[in-house]
Amino acid sequence: MTAELLIGVGVMLVKMAVALAVALGLAAYMILLERKLLGRFQVRYGPNRVGYFGLLQPLADGLKMLLKEDIIPDGVDRRIFLVAPAVVAGMALFAFMLVPFGETLTILGHAVPQVIVRTNVGLLLVLALSSLAVYGLALGAWTSDNKYSLLGGIRGAAQMISYELALGLSLVPVVMRARSLDLSDIVAAQSGLPFAVTEPFAFLLFIIAALAETKRIPFDLPEAENELQAGFHTEYSGMRFALFFVGEYVNMVLLGALIAVFFLGGWHGPILPPIVWLGIKVLAVPVFLIWTRASLPRLRYDQLMALGWKVLVPLALLNVLLTGAILVAAA
């Protein structure tokens, strides 16, 4: 019995280490990819000095951030100020434990699911974790004792409220079709057609809502460099500043993983091995996000609220009704 338990714990630790390494590595190189791609979108090269094609740039950036002074201004609420960046990065990393990487493997007679935690409320947990990340942002901004940060934090919180509803509602049709909240079951339900094909409106709504959730252009109002300096992370420096960015980029990768799982059929795909398909799908989303960043301007604040409450939420509700009608008609 104890041997069984030890093996279980060991396998769990290995899976966690792999997921952590992949998530952090991807996040680091996502920064490079973003800078390179954004450069090419703007007809320039992007970083190409550190290592071949700038491949060591994330390493250099990380080293620089580690060596920078960690400035804590007077007047901040120290405890919350110090913890806030970790909340943002931590929640993004936590959500990775719910993402399934492939079918359940059978190694030496043991069933090893390729997911760290498989629960029957996976989808709800993912949504909860992504909402919690906003606390890191809002609290970090609030405790910074800086009006720009405060404005950024308020915007972040308000934006989260307006988009969380549409985000959740856009996933309801997916749950209705998969008949499960378990992420592995949702992927299994897409072994035929991916939900992006059968639920195109839900797919579109989820992408728009998730764009707002990652707080990137065109919904980067909490940061809004040209109005709010750097918004919620104005007062942060060194590694804590970097943690906010790790959070943002892990979030991008996570979003790619979630869209792959919810709408693009996870690891299902012809010819290529499942893990490659998952990788392609996970990376396609951040590339699209970067492309969006290069293409679109930032929305005005009232436009963003109006879009969230007056357009996305009603559309998502209509879509739920539509999917229900289709399912009833089919049955």
Partner 1 sequence: MADEKHSLLGAVIEGAAGLAGSYAATLTHLFRKPVTEQYPEYKRPMPARTRGRIILTRSPDGNERCVACYLCSGACPVNCISMQSEEGENGRRQAAWFRINFARCIYCGLCEEACPTLALQLTPEFAFCKDDIADFVYEKEQLLVDHGGKHPDYDFYAHAGIAAGTPKGSHIDEDEPVDVKSIMP
Contacts to partner 1 by CB under 8 A: 37, 39-45, 291-292, 294-296
Nearest CB to partner 1, comparing residues 47 and 156: 47
Least Cβ distance, residue 215 to partner 1 (angstroms): 20
User: Helix 2-41 vs helix 274-295: angle between axes, to the nearest 10 degrees?
Assistant: 40
Query: From CA 49, how far away is CA 43, in angstroms rounded?
Result: 17
Least Cβ distance, residue 60 to partner 1 (angstroms): 18
Query: From CA 88, how far away is CA 96, in angstroms rounded?
Result: 13
Rg of the chain on CA atoms, in Å: 20
Beta bridge mates, 112:
105
Nearest CB to partner 1, comparing residues 15 and 36: 36
Nearest CB to partner 1, comparing residues 200 and 324: 200
Nearest CB to partner 1, comparing residues 137 and 304: 304
- How many helical (H) and strand (E) elements, i.e. helices and strands, does the chain have? 13, 2
Least Cβ distance, residue 41 to partner 1 (angstroms): 5
Distant-in-sequence, close-in-space partners of 171: CB < 8 Å, separation ≥ 6: 123, 127, 202, 206, 262
- Which run of H or of E encompasses 112? strand 110-112
Nearest CB to partner 1, comparing residues 38 and 55: 38
DSSP labels, 28-51: HHHHHHHHHHHHHHTTS--S-SSS
Query: From CA 125, how far away is CA 182, in angstroms rounded?
Result: 10
Nearest CB to partner 1, comparing residues 39 and 113: 39
Nearest CB to partner 1, comparing residues 243 and 289: 289
Least Cβ distance, residue 43 to partner 1 (angstroms): 5
Query: From CA 117, how far away is CA 15, in angstroms rounded?
Result: 10
Least Cβ distance, residue 250 to partner 1 (angstroms): 25
Least Cβ distance, residue 53 to partner 1 (angstroms): 13
> What Å distances lie between residue 94 and 14, 42, 100, 159, 262, CA to CA?
16, 34, 13, 22, 18
Give the single-character DSSP code of 55: T
Least Cβ distance, residue 46 to partner 1 (angstroms): 9
